[in-house]
Chain A
Amino acid sequence: MLGSLLQRLAAWQGYFSQMPRYYGAQIRGGGSAVKLGLDGRCLSLPEDSLDILVCFNWEKYLEFEHELELKGESLVLFENNPSTEFNLPETSYQVDFSKRSHEVTGSTIDKNIVALGVLLRILALDEDQVKIAIDEDEELKLLKQNIPALEAGGQLFTDFSFPELRLSPARDNSTKLIMHGNAAMARAAIRAGCRVFFGYPITPAAEIMNEMQLELSLGKGVFLQAEDEIASSGMALGASLTGAKAMTATSGPGFDLMTEMLGLATAAEIPLVIIDVQRCGPSTGIPSRSEQSDLNHAIYGGHGDAPRVVIAPYDMEGCYRLAIESINIAQQFQTPVILLSDQYLGQTFISTSDEFLRKYYPAESAKRATNTLDEYYRYRLTEDSISPMADVGSEGLAYQTTGLAHNEKGEPSFDFETNQIMHLKRWSKLIPLCHRDELVKVLGKEESSRGVITWGSSAQVVLETVKDLGLQDTIKICIPELIHPLPERVKGFIKSTEKMLVIEMNYSGQLHRYLRSQLDLPKSTEIYARAGGQTFRRKELAGPITELTR
């Protein structure tokens, strides 16, 4: 709560920020932490180690020590002394937030707000602006009701004479928007015309369902919490048959259950968008921690040869843009689309400019069949392998389809030639996607023979590390947002690279294996892949990236 309030007050004054959330398996209470990186110039990743730590409980702190690393000059404000021997930085202060809270409000519950009062002074956020924000922002009404606690915090700042860590002023002071990737995807779906959503609660994807429920309630659309993920994906598929742009969202274990529906969507060529907010696997894994280990399942999951489209954003703007893109592609190509997000992207609160919301995004629909005198063939073979689709309910076009091998009409057919042709149709209709260059980001020095390939939220750390090392003009970086089918631009990138590094957060190097299956990789290809559970740090990636330049 302390983090969210501070992020919001800073956003009012124009600061960009990222605030990843760390939490355990507890339902309420238990350890939880946030790391807030404020930046007055642009959206950037929080540094590895902290400038300021506010700690209410050292035992819980230890759960997140990796993410909340201290350095010699960190300023530490803590409530109680650590029980074990703990090497605290020089500028560490024990502060009775709870006691102060109790003194001014009669309850210790406002200790967060007291701490916020201290932080506002340490960071020297403009006091008048803070007042205006508290006055005007509905989301800050908690502060409005607790001004004494906030002021008590300000008083503590004076009493203790903490060092000031004045923020450099924001480059532009326009109020920034606060959102996480899960919410961005939900809003994008609405923007793309999705009015039908079926879900089932799962960490860390539940916010998408919650958001869709708000958006689609009160007659604005169809929202239903299904009995399981088999049902949620099945309902989305059923709705899609009638022409609705339907979607569902889940995480790894739920995605497993959707696999059979995914196969049917491929076989019967039914548009279906599945968002998978990845968490640590296999099985239940670590539900609240990020990992990029569902790529194999997204590309290959299920029996039979079942092509589908796999898309993975690496930042919040991408979450928004690519959710729209996924709905468009599902419609246009009559195919399932897997949108791979992850816990970091999904749940990290971002404060940034709302420019991406104001952009124009086209909305695509399926190639629709029209009622003519000719007999309607649902799977008619066409030049682009995409057959005009009739929505259930359209007059004169009634057809019967099936997950069985079928002919152009949709009738079950076990004829070998027909089966082969239908496979060809389903695979080849996706080929034009390979030429969507804009779905691949290539950054750094494009002519370089040294290149990094990375994907998903890991790409953010790669980009920051390259910048830290000053290698933007030495190496090139490729971030495929469209992963399957593999874009030509990625192949071009790899072919023009002599020394390559693949960075991803999963144990077996799933992207690396996938790339190897598609084309020959440079002889000198290194992989930096490890299990999730801890976010990548810049100093962790600095080694392998520096090695690439040698």
Chain B
Amino acid sequence: MRKTADYRTKLKPVWCRGCGNFGILSALTRIVLPDLGIPKHKTLIVSGIGCSSRIPAYVDSYGINALHGRAVPIAQGAKLASPELTVLAIGGDGDLFSIGAGHLPHVVRRNIDITCIMVNNFVYALTKGQISPTTPHLERGESPFLSWQLYPPVDPMLDMLSYNVSTLSSFIAQGIATNVPHLAGLIGEGIKHKGFSFILVLTPCATFDPPFLFSLLKERASYLREGEPVELPDSSKEKPWLHDPDNINLALRLAESPLLEKPYLGVFFRGR
């Protein structure tokens, strides 16, 4: 074990057993912060409201668990006033992509040097299981995706990867909460990247996601390696190409691949 104790507060997390947030917390406190060697007083973690937004309370740096959807503006204000700080904004899929979605295109166009970690567990878990903008859906009229729901959630899923690629976020990556070292690598790279970094984390919700969702994601996940051919989903008629995170057009093609068919893990795009 590395210097975990140094970056963990004494508080016991409120999360359920098997929650993916433990993996994200580990990535931050065991690997990212110790390895980057940023003094804890030079780090500020801002979060919204939701399960993942509890993270700041468990990391011994400066932190504020603020308002639902508002981590991104608060983080920008802090970074602009004190550019020497390392500022992270953390929120869930509902937080950053539903109530707080209006702030995203603007932080992207300003390219302010903060690292935004979107913890995507596909569900509103703190309020006990409502659909979020990223909840996958089956065809209209089929059995509901979330087992207890009376009506199938038929809202189309918001594709946050395509969104970020199309708005030209200057750093876009996707990790998975169950592979902590890989996720830590992405977050670390995002922090070091000069400009706005957006890191999506596929995260299991042990309580409200149907178990097959995450096992399916894990099973079909494909790691992106620079210079190596990308694995395309079976439905794709394209020819595989060599992964090049400098190329925004290739990033868009990756992002367009349906998440449930081929969840890519790694750096999608790294702008200058």
Which A residues have a C-beta under 8 Å from some C-beta of B?
196, 198, 222, 224, 226-228, 230-232, 234-244, 246, 260-261, 264, 268, 392-404, 411-412
Contacts and interface: CB of A to CB of B under 8 A. Distances in A.
B51 interface: no
Nearest to B71: A234
B82 A244 contact: yes
Interface string B216-253: 00000000000000000000000000000000000000
Interface size class on chain B is 35 or more
Given A224-B80, A393-B84, A397-B41, A235 B62 contact: no
A177 to B, nearest CB: 31
- Which of A231, A235, A238, A242 has its CB near the most chain B CB atoms (within 10 A)? A238
A241 B80 contact: no
B57 A222 contact: no
Contacts of B258: none
Given A234-B70, A238-B77, A393-B42, 5 more contacts: A234-B77, A238-B73, A393-B84, A399-B63, A400-B59
A242 B78 CA distance: 6
Contact of A238 (B41, B81, B103): B81
A241 B70 contact: no
27 contacts: A224-B80, A227-B102, A228-B102, A230-B70, A231-B70, A234-B66, A234-B67, A234-B73, A235-B74, A235-B77, A238-B73, A239-B78, A239-B81, A239-B82, A241-B62, A244-B81, A244-B82, A392-B78, A395-B41, A396-B41, A397-B41, A398-B61, A400-B63, A400-B64, A402-B56, A402-B65, A403-B65
B40 A402 contact: no
A227 B103 CA distance: 7
A238 B76 contact: yes
Nearest to B62: A392
Contacts of A402: 56-57, 64-66
Given A226-B73, A393-B42, A401-B65, A238 B78 contact: yes
Q: Which 7 A-B pairs have the closest CB atoms?
A: A238-B77, A235-B77, A234-B73, A239-B81, A238-B74, A231-B73, A238-B78
Interface in B41-90: 41-42, 44, 46, 56-57, 59-67, 70, 73-82, 84-85
Nearest to B84: A393
Nearest to B110: A224
B1 interface: no
B4 interface: no
Contacts of A411: 11, 57
Contacts of B103: 227, 231
A264 B66 contact: yes
Nearest to A223: B80
A100 to B, nearest CB: 51
Nearest to B106: A227
A234 B106 CA distance: 14
A240 B82 CA distance: 10
Contacts, number: 126
B125 to A, nearest CB: 17
- Which of A232, A235, A268, A411 has its CB near the most chain B CB atoms (within 10 A)? A235
A431 B208 CA distance: 47
Interface of B: 9, 11, 39-42, 44, 46, 56-57, 59-67, 70, 73-82, 84-85, 102-103, 105-106, 110
Contacts of A238: 46, 73-79, 81
A274 to B, nearest CB: 14
Nearest to A400: B63
A71 B19 CA distance: 78
Contacts of B65: 400-404, 412
A236 B73 CA distance: 9
Contact of B70 (A198, A222, A261, A394): A261
A261 B79 CA distance: 18
A228 to B, nearest CB: 7
Given A399-B62, A400-B63, A392 B85 contact: yes
A234 B74 contact: yes
B179 to A, nearest CB: 27
A199 to B, nearest CB: 12
Contact of B81 (A226, A242, A260, A399): A242
A235 B73 contact: yes
A398 B46 contact: no
Contact of A239 (B40, B61, B80): B80
Contact of B80 (A235, A268, A412): A235
Contacts of A242: 44, 78, 81-82, 85
- Which of B9, B67, B81, B105 has its CB near the most chain A CB atoms (within 10 A)? B81
A28 to B, nearest CB: 28
A268 B40 CA distance: 21
A234 B79 CA distance: 12
B63 A401 contact: yes
A234 to B, nearest CB: 3
B122 to A, nearest CB: 25
A235 B60 CA distance: 23
Contacts of B56: 400, 402
Given A398-B60, A402-B57, A412-B57, A231 B80 contact: no
- Which of B60, B65, B75, B103 has its CB near the most chain A CB atoms (within 10 A)? B65
Contacts of A231: 70, 73, 76, 103, 106
Nearest to B83: A222
A246 B79 CA distance: 13
A403 B74 contact: no
A232 B62 CA distance: 22
A246 B81 contact: yes
- Which of B9, B57, B64 has its CB near the most chain A CB atoms (within 10 A)? B64
- Which of A231, A236, A396 has its CB near the most chain B CB atoms (within 10 A)? A231
Contacts of A196: 77, 80-81
B252 to A, nearest CB: 24
A304 to B, nearest CB: 13
Given A234-B70, A393-B82, A411-B11, A239 B77 contact: yes
B81 to A, nearest CB: 4
- Which of A236, A400, A404 has its CB near the most chain B CB atoms (within 10 A)? A400
Given A231-B73, A400-B63, A241 B44 contact: yes
A228 B31 CA distance: 36
Contacts of A228: 102
A396 B61 CA distance: 10
A198 to B, nearest CB: 7
A395 B44 CA distance: 13
A219 to B, nearest CB: 12
Contacts of A260: 67, 70
B67 A261 contact: yes
Contacts of B46: 238
A412 B11 CA distance: 9
Contacts of B64: 241, 268, 400-402
Contacts of A239: 77-78, 80-82
Given A260-B67, A394-B41, A397-B41, A222 B74 contact: no
A330 to B, nearest CB: 15
A482 B106 CA distance: 37
